[in-house]
Amino acid sequence: MLAAFEQEAKQVNKPRLMITAAVAAGVSTIEAGYQIAELGKYLDYIHVMTYDFYSSSDGRTGENSPLFGGSNSYLSVDYAMNYWKSNGAPAEKLLVGFPTYGHNFNLQNPSNTAVGAPTTGAGPAGPYTKQAGLLAYYEICTFLDSGATQAWDAPQDVPYAYKGSEWVGYDNIKSFNIKADWLKKNNFGGAMVWTIDLDDFTGTFCKQGKYPLITTLKNSLGLQNSSE
């Protein structure tokens, strides 16, 4: 494919089309499915899907995209990105995945709201995304405004919130800034977002302007246009 793209670029006298891939962040999947050093040679960018580390099938609460690991260090952005890098993927080709959604859970015991607390399954579906166990950032803002208790998961550098038997682990402006600073410090190639339409695209739910998470990320990486 690379050779074909290079040949086409010469024929049309335009820059070569890029070759990229979205790849897993879970170590067992990485080991079973990728020849990292070979991918590092041929791909222009490697988008690491550093989210969905915990979900309702785990039977306990967990963060969607923790920067650092808690009890399981390998289930984190830091571990996954450095695993790809240490096994042959050039840091400048590695893009960190930033989620604009969270995973919610139904607590087994509403009085146990800790990270890792037992759950009975997925939390209720959001009014717009309509998928049990997942909430868009703008739906999370509504949950927070409804009187949910907000907490900061210091070991993993991401927030979570709970109300009654519902618990959600997610990302916010603070965690996006922390992750972006970490990304730059570790000289990774950049970031990718999943997904544009799960951010607060109207700016009416979170009262933080339009696309607050993506705008935060662009500003942190020095990519914001002066006209925006």
pLDDT (tens digit, 9 = 90+) per residue, 158-172?
999 999 999 999 999
- Range name among 23-27, 157-161, 220-224 with the lowest pLDDT average: 220-224
pLDDT at 61: 97
Indicate the angle between helix axes 173-185 and 212-220, nearest 10 degrees: 30
- Region 104-125: mean pLDDT is 98
pLDDT at 224: 65
Provide CATH code, domain 2-220.
3.20.20.80
pLDDT at 5: 86
**Over the chain, what is the mean pLDDT?**
95
Express each pLDDT in 138-147 by its tens digit: 999 999 999 9
Strands 45-48, 20-23: parallel, antiparallel or unpaired by DSSP?
Answer: parallel
Q: How confident is the model at residue 122 (pLDDT cuts 50, 70, 90)?
A: very high
Express each pLDDT in 49-102 by its tens digit: 999 999 999 999 999 999 999 777 899 999 999 999 999 999 999 999 999 999
pLDDT at 228: 41
Q: What CA–CA distance (Å, rounded) separates 221 from 185?
A: 11
- The answer to whether the predicted template modeling score (pTM) of the entire model surpasses 0.85 is yes
Q: How confident is the model at residue 223 (pLDDT cuts 50, 70, 90)?
A: confident
Q: In what order do the strands lie in the sheet with 94-99?
A: 20-23, 45-48, 94-99, 190-194
For residue 79, give every residue at least 6 positions away whose Cβ sits within 8 Å of its Cβ, in sequence order, or none.
27, 69, 73
Q: Report yes or no: 189 and 94 within 8 Å, Cβ to Cβ.
A: yes
Q: How confident is the model at residue 225 (pLDDT cuts 50, 70, 90)?
A: low
pLDDT at 73: 83
- Region 15-24: mean pLDDT is 95
**ω into residue 119 within 30 of 0, thus cis?**
no
For residue 2, give every residue at least 6 positions away whose Cβ sits within 8 Å of its Cβ, in sequence order, or none.
19, 42
For residue 149, list its beta bridge partners: 162
Domain residue extents for the chain: 2-220
pLDDT at 226: 46
pLDDT value at 130 more than 90? yes
